[in-house]
């Protein structure tokens, strides 16, 4: 049984910043062993509702990254260093 990640990524399938972020997420998994659970929201209303639950109006677009453990989040285009620091809680 694998533990579900407390880090979530809400993205749009055709979103260029989201596609860039996907590469950073893969790099983070390879370099740090950190897994981020991804949810596509442009074509999936259930995932969109989940994003709105966690966003609480703080971010109304994608990409939106959320940490279920400490309620921290990233909204919009971020670079790899920002993603890594957020994921590691730095």
pLDDT one-digit tens code per residue, 65-84: 999 999 999 999 999 999 99
Nearest to 49 by CA among 59, 58, 61, 41: 41
Q: Give me the phi and psi of 88, to 5 degrees please.
A: -85, -5
The C-alpha atoms of residue 83 and residue 38 are separated, in whole angstroms, by: 14
Query: pLDDT per residue over 16-65, tens digit each?
Result: 999 999 999 999 999 999 999 999 999 999 999 999 999 999 998 999 99
Q: In whole numbers, what is the pLDDT of the chain averaged over residues?
A: 94
Give the H or E element holding residue 40. Answer: strand 37-40
Tokens of 56: 């609480």
pTM of the model: 0.92
Confidence of residue 1 (pLDDT cuts 50, 70, 90): very low
């Amino acid at each position: 049984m694998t533990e579900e990640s407390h880090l979530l990524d809400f993205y749009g399938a055709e979103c260029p910043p989201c596609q860039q972020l996907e590469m950073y997420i893969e790099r983070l998994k390879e370099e740090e062993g950190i897994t981020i659970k991804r949810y596509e929201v442009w074509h999936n209303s259930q995932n969109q509702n989940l994003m709105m639950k966690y966003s609480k109006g703080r971010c109304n677009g994608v990409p939106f990254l959320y940490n279920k453990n400490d309620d921290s989040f990233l909204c919009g285009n971020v670079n790899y260093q920002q993603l890594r620091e957020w994921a590691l809680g730095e």
